[in-house]
Amino acid sequence: MFCLGIESTAHTFACSVVQYSFYQNRLIGKILSDARDIYVPPTGSGIHPRDASRHHCKAVETVFKHALCSAKVSMRDIDVIAYSAGPGLGPCLRVGAVVARTLSAFHSKPLVPTNHGIGHVELGIMISRAKDPLVLLVSGGHTAILAFSGKRWRIFGETLDITLGQLFDQFGRSLGLPSPCGHEIEQLGRKAAGNYRLLPYVVKGNDVSFSGLLTSAIRSVHNKSKELSLGEISFSLQETSFAMVTEAVERALSLTLKNEFLIVGGVAANNRLAEMLKEACKRQKCKFYRCPAELAGDNGAQIAWAGILEYVGKGRHVQVEKAFINQSWRINDVEVIRN
Amino acid sequence: MSSIRKTTPEISIKLQLSFEKKKQLYALLKSLKPDNIDFPSGLSMEMLTDYDNTLVIKLSSKGGFGKIINTVDEILEHISIGVNVIANA
Amino acid sequence: MPFSYSILLLQHQRRKLLKKGAEADIFLTDWYGKRAIAKVRTVKAYRHKSLDLDIRRRRTIREAQMLSGVKPIGIMCPHVYFVDPISCEIIMEFLAAKNAKEIINSEISSQIGTYAGLLHSRNIIHGDLTTSNFLLEDKLYLLDFGLSFHSDRLEDKAVDIRLIKETFSSVHYPQFETLFSGFLQGYSTIQGKKMVKKLLTKVSSIERRARYALH
């Protein structure tokens, strides 16, 4: 059986076909295709929702076709359609929703609205085969520590203001780097590795706060003397923010006593963060899992897989006219059936 | 200096799209409906079908040009992507 | 060798590791024949050296100050016997008590609320209000002041409350309603219902901020 997943919450418009079946009473999935087109805002500016949505509209035809062709399926073979219903930017969400609804109505296929954050989490679990991990979701849209209990992914810690992805993006934009900036900052920082400068480190229990750190880092760039290079500030920014997140994770591990840990979301691709978390897991005697870099960023497969779990696990799907979008759909508001 | 009272005209736009097949028309109509909510004040929209496979969209604005331009822009974009994906499927 | 180090060496030989907490290692030790706890903020290898030392030292000193400083307010805490900011350890009273996380109910959460109210009335922010930082012997004891600080800002008090709310809704989710309302009831006996209302509004706005907002 096949599921078509459509992702369009922010920068990325993506489609993917995931094949699913039962094996020994368990649902298993296989990613057959992964097509994406990413909107890049003008250098120095953040994502403008309407511009991004225009980009997505132009990309729909190619990405959709590519997803079906690479998977060697046609709409006739698709059994269910899943789309990212939130959280995200309204104009962007509407693009994916319209595509999904139209396909569902025209081809009479069941339609499943899925939560983008849950997509990251469940895809990570599917690939890593972790059974009951503590999960760190770090991306442009999320920075949250989650654990599953009582039918929900519950939040054990999160950011009190901006996300890790936003921290790097906004810092990078102030340097005139093109968004998304995470990778560039990682490279800059690597060149200056070892030269650390104390920046605001704010952990509040299991939560973190990055706004003070961002302000201080940007101020350091404007005030920098010859001795303090961009590389050093980038390095310090990374070290500080990653240490904060790692500490919050350690606290959550100690609280929940989970013996598995999984990192998902776009920032999971950062090697330094993964290195720090691995070290923390060693101390807490916990297995470390990480979503592979190529599937860490927003993609259609996460939506397809989350949709499959909804549809097969709960038989849940919606009428096209009721296929909603929700810009601020919280991950802990969703009732989930675990595999 | 006398104060100049700014008067914006009442704007009405009627979009008419003729489809080859009823199936296409109804698929598009269903897919646009869920987003026809939370209109800014002064803006209203109505979607109806005609006998000969025509989708009629009527918009009217008493609140100026900006919102109605954005709305029409987005609706037409949505219709175009909807048409594209079912044409290629 | 300095006096403090010779004492610590003696202590070190008689130590038994009780727990590797998130932040510190907790040892059972003795202090002049009395059973005691040694809380050692160990080096975190994943943090840069200078950041790590700064954090560990600052928190050790802060915690020691607060553990002594909050008693006059009416907050029960373990008694501090010895502080060493070089090795970042605190030797304190051993309490044969149960962790509130294991036995939580609305009565205990109400007492937790009272403690939070008392701290906030003196503009002290605990910074890590979770049920695992409370012990219950015959009385309720509060631990772990490493993240605490002084502030009169409503926002900081709201963050404190948000954390205990987060704990109730995650670790103790089946009892969330009774526990949180118990907490607020206890808090209001010190700070009043008006303050509670103000704080809850602030907590909601903080929660909304944490939602998806790309710009």
- In three-state secondary structure terms, C35 is strand
* Rounded CA separation C161/C203 (Å): 7
User: Which domains, ranges and CATH numbers included, belong to chain A?
Assistant: 2-121+296-333 (3.30.420.40), 132-294 (3.30.420.40)
Three-state DSSP class for residue A268 = helix
CA distance A217 to chain C (A): 15
- Which fold is adopted by the domain C98-210? Transferase(Phosphotransferase); domain 1 (1.10.510)
Burial A190-219 (b: 16+ CB within 10 A, else e): eebeebbbebebbbbbbbbbbbebbebbbe
**B4 domain residue, yes or no:** no
Q: How many domains does chain B have?
A: 1
For C22, the closest of A161, A253, A332 (CB atoms) is A253
Which is the CATH superfamily of the domain at C5-93? Phosphorylase Kinase; domain 1 (3.30.200.20)
Task: Indicate the residue type of C115.
Answer: Y
Domain-located, residue B35: yes
Candidate from A4-8, A67-71, A144-148, C4-8 with smallest mean pLDDT: C4-8
Q: Cβ distance B26 to B54 under 8 Å?
A: no
Of A158, A205, A280, the CB nearest to C46: A280
Range of B60's domain?
11-87
Asked if A318 reaches chain B (Cβ–Cβ under 8 Å), the answer is: no
Whether the predicted pLDDT of A224 surpasses 70: no
Q: How confident is the model at residue A144 (pLDDT cuts 50, 70, 90)?
A: very high
- pLDDT, position B88: 58
State the average pLDDT for chain A.
92
C15: buried, middle or exposed (CB in 10 Å: 19+, 13-18, 0-12)? middle
Q: pTM for the complete prediction? A: 0.92
For residue A208, list its beta bridge partners.
Answer: A159, A203
pLDDT (average), residues A193-217: 91
Q: How far apart are CA C126 and CA C143, in angstroms?
A: 9
Distance of CA C210 to the CA centre of its chain: 23
Q: Rounded to whole angstroms, how far apart are CA atoms C145 and C62?
A: 7
**Residue of A55, A105, A35 whose CA lies nearest to B89:** A105
Flag if C173 and A149 touch (Cβ within 8 Å).
yes
Reported as a single tens digit per residue, the pLDDT across B23-42 is: 999 999 999 999 988 788 88
Q: Does C206 touch chain A (CB under 8 A)?
A: yes
Candidates C22, C174, C208; nearest CB to A251: C22
Could you tell me the residue ranges of all domains in chain C?
5-93, 98-210
Residue B65 lies in a domain: yes
Supply the CATH number for residue B80's domain: 3.30.310.50
CB pair distance less than 8 Å for C127 and A205: yes
Residues of C labelled catalytic = 128
Residue A236 backbone zone (phi > 0: left; psi -120 to 50: alpha; other: beta): alpha
Residue B46: inside a domain, yes or no?
yes
Assigned domain for B28 exists: yes
Identify the CA nearest to A82 among candidates A119, A29, A33: A119
Give SS3 for C114.
helix
Tell me the average pLDDT across A137-148: 93
Tens digit of each residue's pLDDT (9 = 90 or more) over C158-188: 999 999 999 999 999 999 999 999 999 999 9
Gap between the Cα atoms of A273 and A182, Å rounded: 12
Which residue out of C23, C48, C131 would a mutagenesis test of the A interface target, given it has the greatest number of A Cβ atoms within 10 Å? C48
Residue B4 in this model has a pLDDT that exceeds 60: no
The secondary element (H helix, E strand) that includes residue C38 is strand C34-40
The kind and range of the H/E element at B59 are strand B54-61
CB A326 within 8 A of CB A86: yes
Residues of C in contact with A233 (CB under 8 A): none
Distances (CA, A) of C189 to A110, A307, B89, C192, C193: 54, 48, 66, 6, 8
**Chain C hits for A196, Cβ within 8 Å:** 48-51
**Subunits with 3+ C-beta pairs closer than 8 A to C:** A
**3-state DSSP assignment of residue C54:** helix
Provide the chain A residues 106-135 that lie in CB contact (below 8 A) with chain C: none
Q: Is B6 within a domain?
A: no
In a domain? residue B1:
no
